[in-house]
Each structure stands twice: as structure tokens, then as C-alpha cells.
Amino acid sequence: MIKGGNMKKRHISFIGIIVLLVLLFFILPVESQDNGIKSLRQSSKAFASVARNVSPSVVFIQVEGSKRNSLYPKFNMPFDDEWPFGAELFRRFFGENFGETQKPRRQPNIVGQGSGFIFLTKEHLFVDRSYILTNNHVVEYAKKIKVILQDNREFEAEIIGTDPKSDVAILEIKIGNLPTLTLGDSSKLEVGEWVVAIGNPFGLSHTLTVGVVSATGRNSLGINDYEDFIQTDAAINPGNSGGPLVNLDGDVIGINTAIFSKSGGYMGIGFSIPINLANDIAQQLMTNGEVTRGHLGALVQDMSPELADSFNIKKNNGVLVAQVMDDSPASDAGIKQGDIIISFRGKPVSSTGSFRNQVALTSPKSTVPIQIIRDGKQINITVTINKLTQDIEQALSHEQPSKNLGLMVQNITPALAKKFDIESDKGVLITQVKTGSIADMANIKVGSVILQVNRINVNNTSDFDQAFKKSTKEKSVLLLIKTDKTQRYIILSWS
């Protein structure tokens, strides 16, 4: 009897466990689902809060002008059809029917549209005026600018300053004490963070879209002269241009500027100017009425895996000095061709684009520390930055004529000759070929040697530059290239 009772108790206990498991099976998913819905509600409330707080500071900009190109800007990537995405265009985005290839009808006053936002300046709020950040291409060549607030009040705006090289512009309207947006710190952005874009796509006032930061530090896109873009998948369309990209705290971390699109509409790839860069430009425009940039005088190139290996450094660690201009701050400081710049003003150097921005944003006459690697040894150098003048900019643009081809060349040094198994010191070594460029399409490889340009022998980069300059008008060049032990002629053309 006792034994049977024990078995019965165990049977009841087993049934109880089964019942408990069944209950947990149904209860836990319900509880988990409730927690998930609760989390989604919290996210929804966060976005709604951003919209409430940010929208009053976002403005709708309407522009009247006489030049369609300024109001409906459309630009190609550096090598047009040869770019990896094909023949499609990067497009600035505001206004209707932008990017059309047909010849526009003549109009006395072409109306364009874009976005902007009232921002908190260093002087804080003004009683009689407010300042608006937007893109230069939104207001370029404008004859009349009208700003519309969220409450439908309209004001005429005046351009305080523009910087086409970074695509930043400042407007002023005659009304004070308006809600302003706080500028955040774009250097702290991480890929994957939630961001919100607010603007006026297709004239639809104060539209909010949500996405994440897809990438940071995008440069060499050919959009602006100075680039360090934030890439986002937050939906942005024609009319968003100049509007804010904000984080969940409502702080501005970027100015929406361009999209990649095959149709002219949203395709998940948008670009915003980092607010740190835009704010530096804005403060100069407001203080001095112009932007003054620094000049080092060293032409640099990104480190390819082959170059990094030949110099015995980590990939993407620094930029390689390809050429030093005479009588420049770089030459005065003792920087030499073949040096690798790994730090500028105490900040790591990762790419030519970011390094160019670092130098440009350094005030002239500033003395800054630079760390370089030379012959495997780290050296600390101090350099005094000069002012970048128009003459110097023109000279710099002529120093790298091969940029149209998408390749970089360098003098053949003993170390490079050994690395790439080059038997002769004649010609110039191809050290970089940009993906999707004309050179890449022609199957030109890193490590090849250019012996002639338009049937003129070249023995160094100076010879190469001089010979190539004669091809700029024709936009075509004949190269004699040696790869391994084989030589071949290649004709390259660009538009």
C-alpha cells in the first residue's frame, strides 16, 4: 500500500510539472510580446518627442532665381559612367523635376525649394533676428528668398554668408526669440545609431523620417570640395536639402545634402554634412564673412594594402606623402616625399579626405604637431600652417592631373622597386587605382609602370605631370604601360 501511494504521488507530481510547463509555454510568449510592444511604444514616443521639439525650428525655404542650375543642381560622380553604380547620378535634392535631361523652358523667375533650421549661435538668442543653417546650393544665385515657419508665418531672408566648397550657407530673418536647435557633436556618432531627418520633401512641410547611421567619414565622392559625409538610410528626398539630421536627443548632428538615386527619389542612401564641420564654417561666415582655410603643401594619397606592406605599416594607418610643394609649410618643417603622416594636431589620420579637412580647418599661422613615420621610425614634427589662397589652390589642382583617370603615381624608389620587382628606374610607379575609375575600367593595376605619356618618356612624377597637362584640353591621353615584363599602349578618355 505504501509503495502504491508513493507511485501515485510521483504520478501527480509529474502531471503538475507538465501543467506548469504548458502554462509557461503560453504565458511567457504573451509576457514577452507585451514587453516587445511596450518597447515599441517607448520608441514611438521618443520619435514623437523629437518631432515636437525639433519641428518648430525647421523652416521651409522658397527661392526665386534666374539660373536653373543653381536651383535644380545635378552633378555626376568623378567618372560618370565609369563609377561603380553605373551611369546614374548623385543628385542634390530640392525642387520639382530636378535632374531632367531635357532643356528647361525659359522662365523669368524659377522657383526652387529646400529646407533649413534655426540654430543656436555662440551669441545665443537675438531679440530682433534669427539665423538659419542650410545648403549653399539651395540659395545659390537666389534673387529672393522666403522662409516659412511651421506656424505658416513667412519672412524674407537675407544671405549672411556662403561657402560653396563645403556647401554651407547662413541666412538671417528679421524676427527674434524663435525656437532654436542645439548643435550636437558629430564626432561621437556611431554606425547603427538612430537618426531623424526633418524637412520639406516635395514641398510637404515638416516631414519626419527615421533611420540609422549607415556609415561615417564618407569622402572622395565628388559632391563637395571638402567632404566628410554621414551616410544614413533615413528617407530623404527632393526638398530635404539643407534640413537637419538629428539624434534622439533632438541635437543636430548633420545637414542633409545629397542622395544617391537612380530615379531621383529615395533609395536608402543619403548624405549629410557633419555638424562639426558645418559649425566651423558657419562661425567663420558669421564672424568674418568668409572662410579661411589652412595650407600645408603636402600632396598625400591613401595607403593601399601594397603600399602599407612595402612600408611595413598597418593598412589605413596614415596617409603617404606623394609630393611636397616648394616653399611650403611642409617643406619648411622638413616633411619629405615618402613620409607617412599618422597624426595631425594629436588626432589620428585615416584617409586623404579627412586629413585634407583637418588641415583646411586649421587657422593660418597656427603651429601644430605632426607625427610621421620615416624609414620605419616615428618622428615628431612641428609645422606652421599658412593660409590657403586661390593661387595655391590652382597650383594644387595642377599638381595631380591624373585625378581624372583615378590613379596615383609615384617616383620609383629602391624600396618600391624591390617590392614590385621593378628592374629599371625609368617611368613612374602606379601606387593607387580608384575602384570604378577610368583606369580601373581599363584594367590598369597597382604596381604597373607608366613609361610614356603621349609618346613622351617620363622618368619621374614631374615629367608625368608636365606631359599629362597637355592632354587636359583634349580629355584623352595615350599611355605606354609596363606590367611585369609586358608593355602595351592604352588610350584613356574622360569627359
Active site residue 241: yes
Please state the φ and ψ torsions of residue 138, each to the nearest 5 degrees: -70, -40
In angstroms, how far apart are the furthest CA atoms of the chain?
A: 112
C-alpha cell at 429: 610607379
Q: Could you tell me if 412 and 399 are in contact, meaning their C-beta atoms sit under 8 angstroms apart?
A: no
Catalytic member of 115, 166, 167, 465? 167
Grid-cell match 526633418, residue found: 198
Numbers of helices and strands, H then E, in the chain: 11, 28
Amino acid identity, position 478 = L
C-alpha cell at 66: 534666374
Active site residue 137: yes
CA-CA distance, 12 to 17, in Å (whole number)? Answer: 9
DSSP 410-453: E---HHHHHHTT-----SEEEEEE-TTSHHHHTT--TT-EEEEE
452 Cβ contact partners less than 8 Å away, ≥ 6 residues apart:
458, 478, 479, 480
Strands 270-274 and 229-232: antiparallel
Q: Could you tell me if 293 and 361 are in contact, meaning their C-beta atoms sit under 8 angstroms apart?
A: yes
Catalytic member of 57, 137, 214, 339? 137
Distance set, CA 367 to CA 295, 359, 385 (Å): 12, 12, 6
DSSP state of 149: -
DSSP 174-201: S--S---BPB--GGG--TT-EEEEEE-G
CA-CA distance, 96 to 285, in Å (whole number)? Answer: 30
Catalytic member of 57, 70, 186, 241? 241
Q: Could you tell me if 170 and 160 are in contact, meaning their C-beta atoms sit under 8 angstroms apart?
A: yes
Is residue 209 left, alpha or beta, with left meaning phi > 0 and alpha meaning psi from -120 to 50? beta
Strands 110-118 and 252-261: unpaired
Q: Could you tell me if 353 and 227 are in contact, meaning their C-beta atoms sit under 8 angstroms apart?
A: yes
CA-CA distance, 133 to 279, in Å (whole number)? Answer: 9
Active site residue 366: no
Which of 321, 365, 370 is CA-nearest to residue 344? 370
CA-CA distance, 260 to 202, in Å (whole number)? Answer: 17
Q: Could you tell me if 172 and 61 are in contact, meaning their C-beta atoms sit under 8 angstroms apart?
A: no
Please list the active-site residues: 137, 167, 241
